[in-house]
A and B are shown apart, each in its own frame.
Chain A
Amino acid sequence: MNAVVVSRRQFLKASTAVGGGLILEFSLANEAFAQPQGAEVTHWVEIHPDDRVVIMIARSEMGQGSLTGLAQLVAEELDCDWSKVSYEFVSPNEHIRRKRIWGSMSTGGSAGVRTSQEYLRKSGAAAREMLVAAAATQWEAQVADCSAASSWITHNPTGKKLSYGQVAAAAANLQTPKDVKLRDPKDWKIAGKPMKRLELADKVTGKPIFGVDVVLPGMLYASVAQCPVFLGKVKSVDSAEAEKMRGVKGVVKAGNFVAVVADNWWRANQALKKVNVQWDEGEYGKASDETIMASFREGLAATGLPTARVTGDTQAALASAAKVVEAEYYSPYMSHATMEPMTGTAWFKDDGTLDVWTSTQNAEASMAAASEASGLPLDKVEVHKTMLGGGFGRRGAPQDFVTQCVTIAKQFPGKPVKMLWSREEDMQHGFYRPASLVRMRGGLDEKGNVLALHTTVACPSILALLRPEGIDKGIDFTAVRSLSDMTYTIPHQRVEYAMRNGHVPVGFWRAPGLQNAFYRECFIDELAHAAGKDPLEFRLAMLKDGDKNRLVLQAAAKAAGWGEALPAGVFRGIAQADGFGSYTAQVAEVSVKDGAIKVHRIVLAIDSGYVVNPDTCRAQGEGNVIFNLGSLTEGHTIKDGRIAESNFHDFRLPNITQMPPKVEVVLVPTGGFWGGHGEPGALCLVPAVLNAVFAATGKRVRKLPLKDGDVRKA
Chain B
Amino acid sequence: MVKLIVNGRAVSVDVEPEMPLLWVLRDELKMEGTKFGCGIAQCGACTVLVDGQAVRSCVVPASTVAGKRIVTIEGLAEKGLTKVQQAWTDHDVPQCGYCQSGMIMAATALLAKKPDPTDAEIDAAMTNLCRCGTYARVRKAIHAAAGQAVAPAPAPVEAPNGQKI
Contact = CB atoms under 8 A, between A and B. Distances in A.
Contact of B27 (A200, A264, A387, A392): A264
Nearest to B96: A63
Given A22-B32, A648-B40, A648-B129, A339 B96 contact: yes
A671 B96 contact: no
Interface in A592-624: 607, 609-611, 614-616, 618-619, 622-624
Given A197-B92, A264-B23, A622-B136, A653 B33 contact: no
A389 B135 contact: no
A144 interface: no
A207 B33 contact: yes
Interface residues of A, number: 84
A212 interface: yes
A663 interface: yes
B139 A647 contact: no
A265 B161 contact: no
A669 B163 contact: yes
Interface in B1-56: 15-16, 19-20, 22-23, 26-28, 30, 32-40, 42-43, 45
A205 B85 contact: yes
A209 B96 CA distance: 11
A367 to B, nearest CB: 22
Nearest to B130: A339
B149 interface: no
Contacts of A627: 131-133
B96 A206 contact: no
A669 B42 contact: no
Interface of B is mostly: loop
Contacts of B94: 63, 197, 200, 203-204
Interface in B80-132: 81, 85, 88-89, 92-101, 104, 119, 122-123, 126-132
Contacts, number: 217
Contacts of B20: 266
A246 interface: yes
A192 interface: yes
Contacts of B128: 656
Contact of B37 (A203, A339, A668, A671): A339
A265 B92 contact: no
Contacts of B165: 192-193, 611, 614, 667, 669
A280 interface: no
Contacts of A62: 96
Contact of B133 (A200, A204, A389, A654): A654
B43 A656 contact: no
A337 interface: yes
Contact count band on B:
35 or more
A339 B162 CA distance: 38
A261 interface: no
A163 B135 CA distance: 42
A386 to B, nearest CB: 11
Given A201-B89, A264-B27, A611-B165, A337 B95 contact: no
B163 A339 contact: no
B51 to A, nearest CB: 20
A670 B35 CA distance: 41
Contact of A246 (B16, B93, B123): B16
Interface string B142-165: 000000000001100001111111
Given A62-B96, A207-B33, A615-B153, A185 B163 contact: yes
Nearest to B160: A670
Interface string A366-395: 000000000000000000000111111000
A647 B153 contact: no
A391 B131 CA distance: 10
Closest 10 CB pairs of A and B: A206-B33, A671-B161, A63-B96, A389-B98, A206-B73, A203-B97, A63-B95, A623-B133, A626-B133, A266-B23
Given A186-B161, A623-B134, A653-B43, 9 more contacts: A204-B81, A205-B73, A267-B19, A338-B131, A339-B96, A610-B163, A622-B133, A624-B133, A661-B119
9 contacts: A202-B97, A205-B73, A338-B131, A339-B96, A387-B97, A610-B161, A647-B38, A656-B135, A663-B136
Interface of B: 15-16, 19-20, 22-23, 26-28, 30, 32-40, 42-43, 45, 72-74, 77, 81, 85, 88-89, 92-101, 104, 119, 122-123, 126-139, 153-154, 159-165
